[in-house]
A and B are shown apart, each in its own frame.
Chain A
Amino acid sequence: MARWAIAIHGGAGVDPNLPEHRQEEAKRVLARCLQLGVDLLRAGTPALDVVEAVVRELESDPCFNSGRGSALSRSGSVEMEASIMDGRGRRCGAVSGVSTVKNPVSLARRVMEKSPHSYLAFDGAEEFAREQGLEVVDNSYFITEENVGMLKLAKEANSILFDYRIPLTGADTCSALAAASEKNHGAGNGMVMNGLPISIYAPETVGCAVVDSTGACAAATSTGGLMNKMNGRIGDSPLIGSGTYACKACAVSCTGEGEAIIRSTLARDVAAVMEYKGLPLQEAVDYCVNERLDEGFAGLIAVSGTGEVAYGFNCTGMFRGCATEDGFMEVGIWE
């Protein structure tokens, strides 16, 4: 009889000076979503249903960059993407360019189960959502005031923001923000992720990896993508093998610099290293995070078919939570 396990994430690459109350808020949301997953697993729910339910919960909360609270594209609109993979048979579904579907991860699942394809995008995805009767809302539902502010800053900085999350008020230019940040938090941290200093960056793609009590693995990832991204830009989250992967051996969801995750096919690599080199889960995760990412910053969560959880990241922090059947449960941000 297999043991269940669950891991969730809310993004890798966290400002070491993130204010306490933001850290607490994030941990609260993570804890709540983790508990949801744990309760479902205890009730014998299949892995695929669990990852969908947990990611839906993460999408609905504006705290993280997915669904409501998504980062804004260059044009100010939200374009979301998501993917889901069922380790049994490695079925998969993905969507990109979603702008009105309340829960992109559910649309991804419908693509997997109700269409002859694996990946639908933009108008085609939206049309399919309506055919399937999924809940749709106005694009403005996903847009938060904070993100509107962040987009402005990102444009001024003329670079792409992973995500936002600066708790500073009254600063409406990037330099004022940076200066204020310096003032508030002392010496700036020299770290940069995707062209922005870590003090005005906090990426929050969400994801979930689960193994259920039958030993079946599943994973799902969802995001609004990069702040100020070019319209039509697709990142790693909807790409099977990059942001999401699940097979008999494990399930993986990644977060961080999308371009780095894609070129290292990070999620697939964890599984490949387990499969082809026989490494156990944590070693596979460590190997991929340390050897595969070159100069890119990213993190990932993973579970194995035998009930283990693991995570790794090569940047300052990753919002995450893990729980296993033997009662272990933790939510964290830092190392």
Chain B
Amino acid sequence: MEASIMDGTTMGCGAVSGVSTVVNAISLARLVMDKTPHIYLAFQGAEAFARDQGVETVDPSHFITEENIDRLRQAKQANRVQIDYTQPMEGQPPKDDNSRTGTVGCVAVDASRNLASATSTGGMVNKMAGRIGDTPVIGAGTYANALCAVSATGKGEAIIRHTVARDVAALMEHQGLTLRDAAEHVVAGVPRGNFGLVAVSVSGEISMPHNTTGMFRACATEGGYSEVGIWPDDGGET
């Protein structure tokens, strides 16, 4: 599992990868940020740190579900990595094979206008051992500064190369785009089926664009607006 967190006020960040026994990877990422001189710890080093910090750990089997065992078997049979774009597929792949991504994330702006972002994932089904995706990479899956907070989800390799989370902020900063325009611009700039993101701005706007079949999402504002959705046309406009 891997995760990252970023504080838009201090620009502090924390990230972990290759975590297999820690119940809450995101909390471990926060501890890296708060309790070490580093930003990012991985694999055995991250696990050792978790034990040092006394965080809750369980047997790796705790995280494994029947459903996922089945998914893995299917993926291996089809000889593909789910949400994969380079492997030759055997048989007929689903038309829009960009479902079943389970990365989770959250972005928020508080009453003092502080922004923060956090993202966490188990990665792709049937990924190579040691594969790191966009989720723990600051600037790719997670980013927050004084203008906005962003968390991305989808094809990790695409999110990395497009530095998605950072780009939303960069467009706002350097071209003065609004949150929505910046977020939509970043998502529109790649072929369909690549990724989506959630973002909030310092002034309380929300944007949740995606160019995938759907994106599990929800949002709420102090003004009382809230929305939960999956498909592109779910929910209203903010």
A and B found bound together: yes
Using known A-B contacts A121-B17, A122-B130, A124-B131, determine if residue A240 contacts B39 with beta carbons closer than 8 Å. no
Asked if A259 is at the interface of the complex by the 8 Å CB criterion, the answer is yes
A172 within 8 A of B: no
Chain A residues contacting B107 (CB-CB under 8 Å) are none
Residues on the B chain within 8 Å of A194, using CB: 37
Partner of A233, one of B18, B38, B129, B163: B38
* In the complex, per-residue mask of A92-114: 1 if CB is within 8 Å of any chain B CB, else 0: 10101100000000000000000
Q: Which residues 110-140 in A have Cβ within 8 Å of B in the complex?
A: 115-128
**Complex contact A269–B170 (CB within 8 A):** yes
Contact A118 B11 (CB under 8 A): no
- Give the residues in chain A near B166, CB-CB below 8 Å: 241, 265, 268-269, 272
- A198, CB-defined interface residue at 8 Å: no
Pick the contact of A232 from B6, B11, B44, B143 — CB < 8 Å? B44
Q: Is A276 an interface residue (CB 8 A)?
A: yes
Interface string of A253-276 (1 = CB under 8 A from B): 000001100111100110011001
Question: In the complex the two chains form, what is the Cα distance from A128 to B171 in whole Å?
Answer: 37
The chain B residue with its CB closest to the CB of A159 is: B37
Q: Within 8 Å of chain B (Cβ to Cβ): is A71?
A: no
With beta carbons under 8 angstroms apart, the residue of B12, B18, B138 that contacts A242 is B138
Q: Looking at A96, A117, A229, A235, which has the most chain B CB atoms within 10 Å of its CB?
A: A117
Q: Given B36, B42, B130, B156, which contacts A127 in the complex, CB threshold below 8 Å?
A: B130
Contact: B132 with A119, CB < 8 Å?
yes
Q: Of A115, A230, A272, which is within 8 A of B36 by CB? A: A230
Q: Are B130 and A262 in contact (CB under 8 A)?
A: no
How many residues of chain B get a CB closer than 8 Å to chain A's CBs? 49
A127 near B129 (CB under 8 angstroms)? yes
**Least Cβ–Cβ distance between A209 and chain B, in angstroms:** 17
| Residue among B48, B132, B133 having the largest count of chain A Cβ atoms under 10 Å | B132
**Which chain A positions have C-beta within 8 A of B44?**
122, 231-232
Tell me if B138 and A90 are in contact (CB < 8 A).
no
Q: How far is the CA of A142 from the CA of B171 in the complex (A)?
A: 42
Q: In the complex, what's the smallest C-beta–C-beta distance from B35 to chain A, in angstroms?
A: 11
Q: Is the CB of A96 within 8 A of B45?
A: no
Any A CB within 8 A of the CB of B149: no
| A19 interface contact, C-beta 8 A | no
6 CB-based A-B contacts, threshold 8 Å: A90-B162, A241-B137, A262-B139, A265-B139, A268-B166, A272-B166
- Chain B contacts to A: CB under 8 angstroms: 6, 11-13, 15, 17-18, 36-46, 48-49, 81, 84-87, 127-133, 137-140, 143, 156-157, 160-163, 166-167, 170-171, 174-175
Given A96-B132, A232-B44, A268-B170, output 10 extra A-B contacts at Cβ < 8 Å: A97-B42, A116-B157, A117-B132, A118-B156, A230-B49, A233-B40, A233-B45, A239-B139, A241-B137, A262-B139
